[in-house]
Amino acid sequence: MAIGDKKFWYLQNHELFNQLSDDAVSGLCIISRYKEAERGEHIFFTEDTADRIFILKKGAVKIVRTDREGNEVVKDLLGKHDLFGHLPTSMRDGFSSEHAVALSDDVSICTFMRSDFEQVLAQNPEVALRLNSHMGEKLRALEQRYDSLVFKDVRSRLLEFLERYCQLFVDDRTADGAVPNHLRQEDIAHLIGCSRQTVAELIGDLDREGRLMYGRKQIRLSTPGK
């Protein structure tokens, strides 16, 4: 499939735009860029990246910061239909600004200049309403993560994270319920606010309880009683 056809198909089937006419989607194709990335690929476009909106159509990415020695700190995981942006590359306080890295093997992204995307919202109220709903869901998810960090113990935070992670890769789930493992234990520790050693110990406990199968390539989380 040609890039132009892929761009049209992905935008037409994205939850933000799937009520638009073919002509309207064709207009989006003109003002957007399309990129495919493989696992481990850093997602950059051009020097104007800081003024762009990225829409993830397929796959999963991690949002990371990297220090001067090249060490990564994972800040968030995003799945299909998520939006992200403002990913400049300048160094600040010893760290680079945030950038995205493809987590899954097949990542597809469309990107818009911020001003063009604002024009799309102004001309298409239904898109603006759906975006508002999407951002509301993201805000509620962030509030839940904050509450977990404040009020829940590390074991509970780990289980919540693993449930979210498995849902992120639900399309890649095997017959026995396993999903690909694309994260280090250190990454998980950063995301749930604890040490890598604590994550390793809890993974061992959950494995002995039969709640979790955690391997280098796959993760399978079992529901209690099953």
CB 96 within 8 A of CB 66: yes
- pLDDT of amino acid 213: 94
Q: Where are the domains of the chain?
A: 3-124, 152-221
Q: pLDDT higher for 136 or 67? A: 136
Dihedral sign computed on CA atoms, order 111, 115, 121, 124: negative
Closest CA to 110 of 23, 62, 45, 39: 45
Which uninterrupted H or E stretch holds 133?
helix 125-151
Phi/psi of residue 141, nearest 5 degrees: -65, -40
Q: Specify the pLDDT at position 158.
A: 95
Distances (CA, A) of 33 to 12, 19, 25, 46, 105: 14, 20, 13, 11, 20
**What is the CATH architecture assignment of 152-221?**
Orthogonal Bundle (1.10)
Give Cβ neighbours of residue 65 (< 8 Å, ≥ 6 apart).
72, 73, 75, 95, 96, 97, 98, 99
Report whether pLDDT(225) > 60. no
Q: What is the mean pLDDT of the chain?
A: 82
Pick the CATH number of 3-124 from 1.10.300.10, 3.20.20.70, 2.160.10.10, 2.60.120.10: 2.60.120.10
Phi/psi for 133 (5° steps) reads -65, -40
What is the spatial distance between Cα 72 and Cα 75, in angstroms, rounded to a whole number?
A: 9
List, in sequence order, every residue forming a beta bridge with 169; answer none if it has no partner: none
- Per-residue pLDDT of 72-105, as tens digits, reads 778 888 888 888 775 444 445 555 567 788 988 8
- State residue 88's pLDDT score: 46
